[in-house]
């Protein structure tokens, strides 16, 4: 009997792997054609006489409430010039990042046939790390001065837990998150569970769209932080259950377990010091993974379902 069950499990795994390989073959065959437009370079090398041409090519980069003198002054500003020079030096060749973006676009086109390849434009933003990537139906803006490496001199004074992801390998991860937000719908985000499932959806979306990235890269953890989350999954889940946090609407809970932070706040000194921030996002990710494993649901359908429906049908069991 045990031997029979092992054979059945092996067959299921082989079929699943074969299906996954077929999907990736089809995805890799999708033709995606785009040019990375280096607005950062164009603006950095421009003079006042080039402004009219730049505004014609990139009208959305020049808000109308700023007059031409504002942009000319910015061209001549020494800090702006240093920002541009450092960005160009770090990203003189954008080919590796373009390859990652191409793979993301191929996956998006496969799962969302209505997806149209947008213009991809790099710019500088005076290190506006709250808006590293902006995605619309037709344009992707990448603030490359927020990806110069976590130890770059521009980032001194920014907390470590934020700048650990100011690395070039996070560009496509942040793009995938921006698209996940665009394609996800969830009416209710009132309880801790609502928030956990919402961010779990975004992380599962990354699983599908950027499978070439590691789990640590997808969630923005170091490998050590991810290892801690996996090793303590059972404890975390029991804490949420014992303290009856899942359905709580306490406004402090997102800052404790969901929002970016140096650590999660269990109010247990030793645990807090060791834990990574956003641990609620990690648990939500595991719940959504379990839901997709145990239910015959498409990615599109899952992204529109409410948190309680996903949780109630996930059959989630934390690893011990």
| pLDDT, tens digit (0-9, with 9 covering 90-100), for 86-108 | 999 999 999 999 999 999 999 99
> Which residues are within 8 A (CB) of 205 and not within 5 positions of it... i.e. 6 or more apart?
176, 177, 179, 180, 183, 184, 299, 303
Euclidean distance between CA atoms 66 and 53, whole angstroms: 17
Task: Provide φ and ψ at 141, rounded to 5°.
Answer: -105, 125
Inter-residue contact 44 to 74 (CB < 8 Å): no
Q: Which residues, in sequence order, are bridge partners of residue 140?
A: 120, 135
Distances, alpha carbon 99 to alpha carbons 96, 134, 210, 216, in Å = 5, 19, 12, 20
DSSP character for 168?
Answer: G
| pLDDT, tens digit (0-9, with 9 covering 90-100), for 111-169 | 999 999 999 999 999 999 999 999 999 999 999 999 999 999 999 999 999 999 999 99
Inter-residue contact 81 to 145 (CB < 8 Å): no
As given in the structure block, the two tokens for residue 152 are 């770059």
Which one, of 213, 206, 198, 223, lies nearest residue 276 by Cα? 223
> Which residues are within 8 A (CB) of 191 and not within 5 positions of it... i.e. 6 or more apart?
246, 247, 248, 249, 307
| pLDDT, tens digit (0-9, with 9 covering 90-100), for 177-221 | 999 999 999 888 999 999 999 999 999 999 999 999 999 999 999
| Alpha helices for 190-312 (secondary structure H) | 192-209, 215-219, 223-231, 233-242, 253-257, 269-274, 279-294, 299-304, 307-312
Q: Is 259 exposed, middle or buried (0-12, 13-18, 19+ CB in 10 A)?
A: middle
Residue 4 has pLDDT above 80, yes or no: no
Residue 15 has pLDDT above 70, yes or no: no
DSSP character for 36?
Answer: E
Inter-residue contact 129 to 146 (CB < 8 Å): yes
pTM of the model: 0.91
């Amino acid at each position: 009997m045990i031997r029979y069950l092992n054979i059945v499990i092996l067959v299921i795994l082989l079929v699943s792997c074969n299906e996954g390989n077929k999907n990736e073959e089809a995805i890799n065959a999708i033709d995606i054609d785009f040019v990375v437009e280096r607005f950062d370079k164009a603006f950095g090398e421009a003079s006042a006489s080039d402004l009219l041409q730049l505004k014609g090519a990139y009208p959305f980069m020049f808000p109308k409430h700023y007059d031409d003198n504002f942009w000319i002054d910015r061209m001549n500003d020494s800090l702006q010039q240093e920002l541009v020079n450092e960005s160009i030096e770090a990203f003189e060749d954008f080919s590796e990042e373009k390859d990652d973006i191409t793979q993301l676009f191929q996956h998006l086109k496969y799962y969302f046939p209505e997806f149209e390849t947008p213009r991809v434009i790099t710019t500088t933003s005076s290190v506006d790390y709250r808006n590293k990537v902006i995605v619309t139906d037709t344009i992707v803006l990448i603030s490359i001065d927020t990806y110069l490496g976590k130890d770059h001199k521009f980032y001194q004074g920014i907390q470590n837990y934020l700048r650990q992801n100011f690395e070039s390998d996070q560009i496509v991860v942040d793009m995938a998150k921006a698209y996940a937000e665009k394609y996800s719908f969830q009416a209710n985000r009132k309880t801790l569970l609502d928030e956990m499932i919402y961010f779990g959806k975004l992380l599962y979306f990354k699983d599908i769209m950027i499978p070439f990235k590691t789990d640590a890269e997808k969630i923005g953890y170091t490998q050590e932080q991810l290892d801690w989350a996996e090793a303590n999954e059972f404890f975390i889940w029991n804490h949420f259950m014992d303290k009856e946090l899942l359905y709580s609407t306490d406004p402090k809970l997102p800052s404790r377990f969901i929002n970016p932070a140096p650590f999660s706040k269990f109010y247990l000194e030793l645990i807090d010091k060791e834990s990574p921030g956003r641990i609620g996002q990690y648990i939500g990710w595991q719940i959504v993974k379990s839901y997709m494993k145990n239910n015959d649901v498409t990615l599109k359908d899952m992204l529109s379902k409410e948190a309680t429906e996903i949780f109630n049908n996930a059959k989630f069991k934390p690893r011990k």
